[in-house]
Homo-oligomer: A and B are copies of this chain.
């Protein structure tokens, strides 16, 4: 499989197409909520995971092609992210949740994680002062190896050891195989993030093995490998070329707001979306 994708649903589709059949140990189903299509891929065994290059676990993908243009679709997406996140996680209101915004703030298509962090309702430092029905949320944007000289996983592990969160939510920009999924899709996975995944290609994974605590990954594909789409063979020196859509500035703004408020709504369950938007304005 030479086509690069961080989406389990795409990897599954490609594998089924290549093998002209079903893949043992993987189930897949879809639902439609208004304009948002939900695809659930369950990888039941490690062996099945190896066939499509993904870890054993649950992957939920929301496709919302009109998110940018419709306030209704935005609200649907926020609520669906929140709902799926609550199902995947298993934390009570007082448990500390650490949200890690991965990626490089200076590269717009890689800035999704950092921009989600900017829009979170962070409350851990105010627990003694606030009497609101909020969760216990903190956040970190560790930067990328190329600009910090430090493995992302080392920074998050260091912080995790200081704070002992009950759950980590890792947000990152992803690569897709199909250009129609770039900037329109959100994937949640209870597997954390595997080594080499994401735009920044984190060298080490972020998951229960490396961090000692459950990690839910939320990702949005914002790029596609040029080699994946090009109709002509790409010269070797261009092989690492990665492309994104022209309107990426607007996409990152809208998508980071969508993901941030999905997380906010899940972790501060007793607040409404309106209240959250006022508090984070």
A171, CB-defined interface residue at 8 Å: no
- Which of A25-33, A159-167, A212-220 sits within the interface? A159-167
Q: A231-B229, A243-B244 are in contact. Are A148 and B154 (CB under 8 A)?
A: no
Query: Which B residues are in CB contact (< 8 Å) with A179?
Result: 226, 230, 234, 238, 241, 243
Partner of A249, one of B108, B140, B141, B245: B108
Name which residue of chain B comes closest to A203, CB basis.
B125
Name which residue of chain B comes closest to A96, CB basis.
B149
Could you show 18 A-B contacts with beta carbons less than 8 Å apart? Answer: A71-B281, A105-B105, A106-B250, A107-B250, A109-B246, A110-B246, A125-B146, A138-B149, A139-B147, A139-B149, A140-B142, A140-B143, A140-B155, A155-B158, A157-B158, A229-B230, A243-B244, A244-B245
A122, CB-defined interface residue at 8 Å: yes
A208, CB-defined interface residue at 8 Å: no
A228 to chain B, nearest CB (A): 9
Q: Are A148 and B155 in contact (CB under 8 A)?
A: no
Q: How large is the interface on A (under 10, 10 to 19, 20 to 34, 35 or more residues)?
A: 35 or more
Within 8 A of B (CB), among A163-197: 163, 179-180
Partner of A243, one of B123, B155, B246: B246
Partner of A150, one of B157, B159, B234, B241: B159
A248, CB-defined interface residue at 8 Å: yes
Apart from A110-B246, A125-B146, what 15 extra A-B contacts exist at CB < 8 Å? Answer: A106-B118, A107-B246, A107-B250, A124-B149, A138-B148, A139-B143, A141-B141, A141-B143, A154-B162, A155-B155, A157-B158, A179-B226, A199-B246, A226-B229, A242-B245
Q: State in angstroms the CA–CA spacing of A77 and B164 once bound together.
A: 43
